[in-house]
Amino acid sequence: MDNVYILGIESSCDETSVSIVKNGCEEIATVVLSQMNTHSTYGGVVPEIASRMHVENITIVIEECLKKANMKMEQIDAIAVTYGPGLIGSLLVGVSAATTLSYIYNKPLVPVHHIAGHIYANNLVSKMEFPLIALVVSGGHTDLIYMEDDYKFKKIGGTLDDAVGECYDKVARIIDVPYPGGPLVDKLSYEGKDTYQLPLPLDDNTYNFSFSGIKSAVINLVHNEIQRGNEIRKADIACSFQKRVVDILTKKTMKALKEYNVKNLIIAGGVSANSGIRNKFSELCKNGGIKLTIPHIKYCTDNAAMIACAGYFAYKKGLRAGLDLKAQANTSLF
Amino acid sequence: MKYLLIDTTTSNVTVAIIENNKILFNYQNTIISDMSSKILPIIEAGFNSVNFNLRDIDKIFVVNGPGSFTGIRVGVTIAKTIASALNKNIITLSSLEYMATTFTDKKYLVPIIDARRGNVFAGIYDNNLKLIEKDSLISLNELMKKIDSNYELISYDNINNSIKPKVDILKIILKHENDKSINPHKVNPNYLKLTEAEERLKLKENI
């Protein structure tokens, strides 16, 4: 079989990224231009600034990626692009560039859902084996997904309110940890002890999650401690919070693996960079005979390699978009 | 010489293909919704209707603002992607100057785009497209102080008895076809306005 080269473009939030992946598993070249330093000035991603920076950088990143891969567009089999979900202004830049390239070079255009991308980042680590359970944890998502085969996504549970990454960022703000809050709370948790009584979020029989309760609990806790004139032990709060979040994520995920009789677990999304989550799942899967795959840290955050990867399987499945591909801020994978 | 012109800075979109000062394809329409997904199909239809293709183009003219931030980005992204991929010359045009190609018997033309909260993007040109006062973001009241009967207000937004633009593609191209081409990577929107977050930060820093 001939090799298939997919050029992926990702611009859904604050990273402009282009990547070329061979056969959905071998990364040829990836360029990621992160805007994090700019947005950190504002304490979070400013959508209009993100859009502006994408326009400034998109063609540079495309050209750099081709140069790095030592390839020409003519050698590419298809162009994959994140069409959603994400910041609409940001998505539009990637979609416009991808559509234009598809037109210029007469290459198939493959629409990729951002979450499918996060899941397929794992295929860069090791060939995904089915059936599998995917736990997607990011700033916008907390989903448990059952995959019987390539590009077949069945949601078995998800967050009813805040996404886990969103909750991390909010807790960071409450205990005054600077942007980017999530990773810093993770780091801080190792300097503390699990001394605070925080509830285990939505500990029921479903596969759903809820993080607004624990967020409120942290708010109330900090508020009460201030009222009482007690010292806020940030590291202890971070530790207690992280422990509860990791406990519920692992509890429900391990239960799903058992009930669906699945031996493969993959973790995806920005929050899969969280060391608490990585460590606990590694331990549990090792003991339970489960094959665990977590993307390399550099593929946990937004990047185009994962889009090119997912794009390969979408391409094989015959998914195509026309020149009228629309960017969509909200769109479901299921 | 073969040219492609793209203007998506307002909902009044232009896509035109020009050869030797003749307009071969001229799409001028109001696109209210999903504009971004409609431009490439229009460009494709354009090249399907002429006997050469995008690769044969000598120069791309892209209107890069001011106007709708999202609209500007769509046109600029498409134009700079084409120019950088196919190594084409690219020239940016002002949306206001483009509107000022409208014919009038008055001495001066004042193209205006609504910028909300009582502000407008506006410039002043004479009827040979000579720049009298450069494009800027200005309060409408401030602008009106400069206006007398010698001035024609031109706007898609019906501002103070303005007339509707009737753009003259060849007029603006003739003026700019010998402009120096820009490195496609450096072709960027001309928003004429900082983002709100940047404005707030600037305000804070100045206190």
Q: Is A282 within 8 Å of chain B by CB? A: no
Digit-coded pLDDT (tens) for B35-62 = 999 999 999 999 999 999 999 999 999 9
CB-closest option in A46, A55, A105 to B77: A55
Of A105, A109, A90, give the one whose Cα is nearest residue A10. Answer: A90
Please give the pLDDT value at position B206: 82
Digit-coded pLDDT (tens) for B12-27 = 999 999 999 999 999 9
B74 shares a domain with B24: yes
Q: What are phi and psi of B177, to 5 degrees?
A: -70, -20
Query: How many domains does chain B contain in total?
Result: 2
Interval A306-314 mean pLDDT:
98
**3-state SS record for A179-226:** CCHHHHHHHHHCCCCCCCCCCCCCCCCCCCECCHHHHHHHHHHHHHHH
Q: Is A40 within 8 Å of chain B by CB? A: no
Q: How far is A154 from chain B (nearest CA, A)?
A: 29
Is B203 a domain residue?
no
B140 shares a domain with B49: no
Digit-coded pLDDT (tens) for A24-67 = 999 999 999 999 999 988 988 999 999 999 999 999 999 999 99
The whole-angstrom separation of Cα B2 and Cα B5 is: 10
| CATH number of the domain to which B26 belongs | 3.30.420.40
B70 shares a domain with B17: yes
The whole-angstrom separation of Cα A279 and Cα A285 is: 10
Range(s) of chain A covered by CATH 3.30.420.40: 5-120+299-316, 129-294
Residue A1 banded pLDDT, cuts 50, 70, 90: low
Q: Does B184 sit within 8 Å of A55, measured CB to CB?
A: no
B151 shares a domain with B59: no
**How is residue A313 annotated by DSSP?**
H
Give pTM, 2 decimals: 0.95
The whole-angstrom separation of Cα A316 and Cα A328 is: 23
| A90 touches A12 (CB < 8 A) | yes
| Domain enclosing residue B83, as ranges | 2-95+167-197
Interval A184-198 mean pLDDT:
96
| B170 touches B18 (CB < 8 A) | yes
Interval A141-156 mean pLDDT:
96
How far CA A221 is from CA of A167, A203, A211, B143, in Å, comes to: 15, 20, 15, 55
Q: How far is B70 from chain A (nearest CA, A)?
A: 6
Residue A298 banded pLDDT, cuts 50, 70, 90: confident
| CATH number of the domain to which B131 belongs | 3.30.420.200
Is B204 a domain residue?
no
CB-closest option in A92, A104, A322 to B74: A92
Q: How far is A313 from chain B (nearest CA, A)?
A: 24
Q: Which residues of A touch B85 (CB under 8 A)?
A: 59, 62, 73, 100-101, 104-105
Of A327, A307, A270, A271, give the one whose Cα is nearest residue A16. Answer: A307
The whole-angstrom separation of Cα A93 and Cα A71 is: 23
B75 shares a domain with B20: yes
Is B15 a domain residue?
yes
CA dihedral (B15, B21, B24, B26) positive or negative: positive
B173 shares a domain with B119: no
Is B162 a domain residue?
no
Please give the pLDDT value at position A17: 98
| A71 touches B92 (CB < 8 A) | no
| Residue B122 β-bridge partners | B112, B136
Q: What is the ipTM of this complex?
A: 0.97
pLDDT more than 70, % of chain A: 100
B84 half-sphere exposure, CB direction, 13 A CA radius? 26
Q: Does B195 sit within 8 Å of A46, measured CB to CB?
A: yes
At the fourth CATH level, the homologous superfamily of domain A129-294 is ATPase, nucleotide binding domain (3.30.420.40)
Q: Options 3.40.1080.10, 3.30.930.10, 3.30.70.1350, 3.30.420.40; which CATH number does A5-120+299-316 get?
A: 3.30.420.40
Instruction: Share the mean pLDDT of chain B.
Output: 97
Q: Is B84 within 8 Å of chain A by CB? A: yes
